[in-house]
Each structure stands twice: as C-alpha cells, then as structure tokens.
Structure 1
C-alpha cells in the first residue's frame, strides 16, 4: 500500500470515528429532533463536509467564558423601583403576559416610558442624527452591520464631533456583520477619541463563536433616549442599493425603558472589551437626574403616556432560548388576531403548530413576507412551510414594493413586538437578539396602521395556485427545509 493510500485510509477512518462521536453527542444533548435529524442526514450524504460544518457551526452554544455582569450592575437602587400603579391599569392579558416574560427574563415592564414607530431608513436616520447631535454626556451605539458608506460616514462624522465636545462615545459592532469596516478606519476613530470594540472578531482562533452573532441594534443617548429595531447602518436601508426599496421598522424610546437597552449594551461591551468600569458612578448619576426629569414630565402630562414597554435580550449566554419562549407565549395568548412581518420565516415546530392551530380555531392569522428576498436558500426553505399554513387558514401576503425587513408581531391590536429577531432558527436559538414588547400604548396603534399600509401594497397568496406550483420548486423547497435547522 502506497503512502498516499495509507494517508487516505487514515483520514477516512478519522472521519468515520468523528461522525460516530458527533452522532452520539447529538443524542446525549437531547436537541430538537429536527436539528438532530438534519445533522445525521448531512453526515450520511457528505460526511467530511458535515464534520467540518459541525466543528464550525454545530456545537451547542456555550455560556460566555468572559465575565458577564448582571444587568442591574449599573442600576442605582432609586431606578430599580421604576414601575408604578400604571402597570395595574393594563388588561389582564397584558399583565399575565408581562409577568410570564419577567419570570424567565428577569425584566419587568416600564410604565414611565414612551415609544414611537420609525418607518424605513429616512425616518430612522433623520431622527437618529437629530438625537445624536443633541447628546450632552454619552452615546452608546451598537449594530450588527455598520458600513462606512454615505450614511455610515455621516454618522461617524457626528460621533467624532461629539467626542470633540466632550461626549463619551462607545461604538460596538459585530465581527462578522461589520467585517467591511477597515482597520485603518477603526484606528482613525480610536485616535479621534471614539471608543471602538468588535464583538467576537472573525479569526482562526474564534471558530467556537463564529456561529453566534450579535444581531442587536442599540443606540442609547444620555440614558433617556434609545433606538432599536430592524435597521442596521448602510445605504441599502435607504434604498440605495441593487435591492432597491427597503421596508423596515424601528423604535424611538424615551424614559426609564431605555435603561434596559443600556444594560444590554454594557453587558456586550464588557464582554467584548473586559472593561467593567464604564464610568459607573457617572452613569448612575446621569441616569438618575434624567429619569427624575422625565418622571416630572409624566406627572405634568401623564395623559401623553399610555401602556407599558418591556425590553429584553436573548442569546447563547442564556440557559433557555429566551426569544423563542417569549414569542411562543405571545402567540399562545392571542385571542382574536396574529399579524406577523418577517423577512425570514423558518419557524421551529412549536411556532409552526401554534400558528396552524390558532388559524384553525378562527383567529385572523396573517404573515407578510418579502416579495423579493435577499437570501435564496432561506426564501426556498420558508416557502416549504406555506402550504400547510394556507390549508389551515393562515393568510400569507407577499410585499410587492420590494424587500421587507421588518421584524414585527401584533396580537389582538393590543400587544406588539418590535425588535431585531426574525422568525427563524438563527434568531430564536443562536444569535444575540433583543425585542420590545409594547403593551396597549399609542405605538401599538401605529404598528396596526403600518400593517394595514403594508397589506394594501401586498398580494395575498392563493392557496390553490400556490399548491399547484411546479414539482421542481416543491423538491427544492423540501430539500432546503430538511436543512432549515442548520440555516
């Protein structure tokens, strides 16, 4: 036997042993059956590729090895008592949901807060630039994607200017989503005084975290103004790309709920920098003064603030899939209607079943989906779920103006979720995400109107016509669905 044959045989047996070992590990981990079956199928079809893919992306998420500070690290005692009797004026349904969410997130509702909806890039970036220019003490800004294109450069210029005015600026971007940012640019920002950090940079030594990306979008200004939602920073969010018009949804939040955005940001900042100081005393004092001023505003004009806000995050650092559990609870509690907007629809079996059962019981269940997708693989897998949903009575709409990137859920025209998480396996189980649950507030009315506007420019799928699509499309969709837990 030649040396090359011996090497080939050795590699062959190593792959076989690896497949057996990984398969045993998959069973012992008691994963979702869908995920386990998908991995076993991949190993049987392409064992070498499967082992490589598993090493890079398949290992169960592990808790962060670096110190994670609890969200109350920066919360002064006076601010922890932020809920008043307004929370008791919510409906029984809202109180029940918020209590359940608090039990597995540790985050309570905020009554001393207001939120408004920002539709698309023009509204969001205009409001963001205005708020950044008005910053007096500090700016925390975090994005999955941050491009140094036209809009990105405009924002970076503002950040440099605010540093020169004495404002503390921290910029945190994801190592994969913002990989286009050049080291030279980052060095210039740091030289200018902007504190910059990369969340889990991509390198040969970071393979254990490459599959767990920070998909959050957070801006906190002076502890009382906050932004979060679906938009990253890039010209495409203003329709300036080959994709064309980009439909998205964001939130502008004021008041004590911004504290939770800040807590989530600082946890990620501490993790990526090992910096645990962050002017703790200064931040507490600023938060106290600003929130005290906002409380005074509420006392003077309390009728302007209705309902409540509950903001929480999820990710590989939590023991349970928090976002998945929260969405399950939200959908389960619906009594009349469920409206969903998502660019990627690859649900787990539980959410898939809930939607079917709710539609079959007579609820108005609607899903609005992009007419034009930016991911062929995800789009194909998504459509494999459509036929059973249509047969159970779910109404599915395709957005005709172009790409829809909103991540919004509305139930019973009373409670809405606006955040960063898609209804897919990656957002529900793998990524660092966050969302805002909005209870019976004016912004829920805005969410309802935005859905009505989107439905008016969308086409409802015809069940019979969709089911009669070509056999080739059905085969491709079924194939991609088999691997949907790996997407």
Structure 2
C-alpha cells in the first residue's frame, strides 16, 4: 500500500475562518463543556463514543440529551459495540422513544458474526456544525474523577465557530449512516484569519486506505528540529515509528515520552516496559505519570505542531480501529499545551537505566518480554481478522 501524502493547501481567502481552539482537560473541564454544548444545541447533535458508561457522568449526559430532544434537536449517537457493550437496553429504548437516533458500531455479537478488531474509537461531540469536542476522553466517571480519586489524565480540543466543526459533523454523519466508500473522505485544512494557524482533521481507518494520523506522526517527528513531547497510553509503536524516534534523537532532537505509571491494562504496561531500556539507550527521555491512570494521546513538536485525538501509538490504532485526531499548527496553542505538559513532567518520575536496574529482576524481565511478544502478536492477529472480514464483505458487495 502506497504512503499517502498529507498536504496543507496554499492560503486561499475562502478557506479563512474565525475559529477558536481551546485545550480541554479531563475532569470537570471536559464534562461541563460537553453538557453545555448539548444544552445549547439548536438543530443537531452528533456523539460518537468508544465508551459510554451508565454511571453518574453518563446519566448526566443522557439527561442533557433528553432535554435537547424535547426541544426537537435532531440527535445521532453512535457507540462502539465492544467499548459500550454494557450500555443498558432500557436506556436505549427510552432515548429512541424521544426520537433520538442511537445505534452501535459493529455490535460485538451480530447474527452469526463475532466482531473483533475493527472498532469505532472516536470521542467526538458536535453541535449545529459550529462547535465540536474531540480528543481521547470517553463518557465515564473515570475521566471525570471524584472527591477521592483523580480523573484519568487525558485531553481534548474544543473547536468553535469554524469549518473544522462542520467537517467533524459531516464525518460523523457519514459514519453513522454507513456511507459505503472505500476511498478516504477529503477534508481540507482550515486556516485561521490571522494566517498563523491551521487546523486539520486527520483520519486513520487503514481498512479504507486512510492512515493520515500514522503518517502525520512519522513526518512531524522526522522534521523536528528541537523537541518532541509525546503523551502515550498503551504505547507500543511499530518498528517504523520506533526507528524514526531513534533517528530523530540521534540528530540531537530532544524527545520526551510521558507514559503510564498506572495502567488499566497491566499486560500492555508490561509490554511497554520491555521497550524502556532500548528507548533510554537511544537518548529518549522517559517520564511515568503515577497520580492516576494515563489515557492521553497527544504529541507536541517544536512548540508549534500539535495533534490530539483518539489515536494510540500501537498496531490496533494504526491498522484496526477508526480514529480521528486534529492537528493544530499554532505557536499560541502549542505554548499553552507545552506549559501544561511541563507541569505534568514535573510531577512524573523520570525513568533512568539505574531505576530500571533497581526495579527489575530476572523474572520481571522475562515477564515483560513475554508480554511484549504476546500483545504484539495478539494485536496483529486481531487486525488481520478484521481486515480479512472487511475484504470479503467488500468483494461480495462489488
């Protein structure tokens, strides 16, 4: 499969818009914004979520949707069939009775099929084509936190009054109505009115020949001149991106990885541990966040280019799931994010070879290696099953 070029078009007046982007944190920051977007919607709402839990946070969003439905707002909710498998059928019935359109993407069990591998990993909320929230935050108490527990560390971007919100709404619409296409949806970069900022919607759906996010990560790190900071949960990059990181560090570019000190998937965390020594030996700085589960998916390059969204640096996101990020070229936005990440780093544990040696034993080293081999092999098998099913279906339809 040939590599796709991600090109930012030349500046054109009709592509200029007065668009605001705001960095959003997990916790009350995100969920207050989400609720306000829903309650202020006038015509249409789209929600596409990997995980939508029936807890206090989920019920608050559900109630907001019910209020919007009573105002005759058109609502479309698309939940992943695996991530939101436990979403109650009774609530689905209630929402449908109010006129809310809700369905599952690839139900885990459907007829004679068992769906695995290809998942809708989106975390997107849009309203009226004028405002959107996009990032890595699911609808769940875990991402909001409580009086006794910190929220999972994650990020999103709120985009207001711009073409990007319209593009995201159209993307959600296409996926909700199962628009049958095997070519990528073309989305133009949007230029701010000050000509110093661009925002681009990036898609990754390898089965439909979209791998913009993967390519953007590779190209942005390859072009880095000073510093790359990556927040990576479930960090298990492929050989290509690992090679790019090593080469970039060898050129003298400072690379900092903020990784999970606490993970909701211990096996994945052990697999990531297997990479630690090699990364450090290649002059890549490692920092572990230990105050809560780390769930963020963020990159910052040279304090100018940023990407935030649902995409993880692993095989599943690259070749299995449907992912959407936004890429923002803005010194102002990057400065805000850089300040936040520096604060995070100051609260992390710096991982060195001495610390690894002190914490490791023969058995833990073997366990990490086995975890790495098992997770890598499992992800490859899962994505192959998904690809094979999709290819057969495509052949039948054509």
> After TM superposition, is the score higher than 0.5?
yes
Contact 1:121 1:231 in 2 (8 A): no
What are the superposed Cα offsets for residues 271-320 of structure 1, whole Å, 9 maximum, x if unpaired?
Answer: 18x9xxxxxxxxxxxxxxxxxxxx9xx8xxx55x8501001221144225
Q: Could you state the TM-score of these two structures normalised by the residue count of structure 2?
A: 0.84
- In 2, distance between residues paired with 1:126 and 1:243? 18
Residues 123 and 138, structure 2, Cα contact 8 Å, conserved in 1: yes
Report how far residue 429 of structure 1 moved.
Answer: 1.4
Counterpart residue number, 1:239 = 145
Given that 1:308 and 1:441 are in contact with CA atoms closer than 8 Å, whether structure 2 keeps it comes out as no
- Measure the CA separation in 1 of the matches of 2:148 and 2:90: 27
Aligned partners of 1:110 and 1:183: how far apart in 2?
A: 43
| Match of residue 178 from structure 2 | 271
Distance 1:150 1:376, change over 3 A: same
**After superposition, what is the alpha-carbon deviation per residue over 1:120-153, rounded to whole angstroms, capped at 9, x for unaligned?**
1210111111121111111111100001211111
Q: Does 1:167 align with 2:39?
A: no
Contact 1:227 1:253 in 2 (8 A): yes
Evaluate the alpha carbon distance shift between residue 203 and residue 227 of structure 1 in structure 2; reply closer, same or farther with a 3 A threshold.
same
Q: Confirm whether residue 436 of structure 1 aligns to residue 326 of structure 2.
A: yes
Aligned residues: 359
Q: How big is the shift at 1:231?
A: 0.4
Which structure would you say has the larger Rg? Answer: 1
Q: Are residue 178 (structure 1) and residue 84 (structure 2) matched? A: yes
Task: Summarize the alignment of residues 9-408 of structure 1 with structure 2, pairs less than 5 Å apart.
Answer: 100-102=5-7, 111-112=16-17, 113-203=19-109, 205=111, 207=113, 209-240=115-146, 244-254=150-160, 255-271=162-178, 302=193, 306-319=196-209, 321-408=211-298
Structure 2 residue matching 1:185: 3-state secondary structure: helix
| CA displacement at 1:394 relative to structure 2 | 0.4
Of the three residues 454, 457, 466, the one matched with 2:347 is 457
TM-score, L = length of structure 1 = 0.70
1:470 paired to 2:361: yes
Task: Assess if the C-alpha contact under 8 Å between 1:249 and 1:406 holds in 2.
Answer: yes
Counterpart CA distance in 2 for 1:307 and 1:440 is: 5
State the superposition RMSD in angstroms.
2.5
Gaps of 5+ in 1: 1-29, 31-98, 104-108, 275-294
Alignment of 1:409-428 (within 5 A): 409-428=299-318
Q: Which moved more, 1:258-267 or 1:316-325?
A: 316-325
Contact 2:207–2:320 under 8 Å retained in 1: no
1:482 aligned to 362, 370, 373, which one?
A: 373
**1:483 counterpart SS class:** helix
Of stretches 390-399 and 476-485 in structure 1, the one that deviates more from structure 2 is 476-485
Question: CA separation of 1:396/1:206 partners in 2, compared to 1, >3 Å: closer, same or farther?
Answer: farther
Deviation at 1:336, TM superposition (A): 1.0
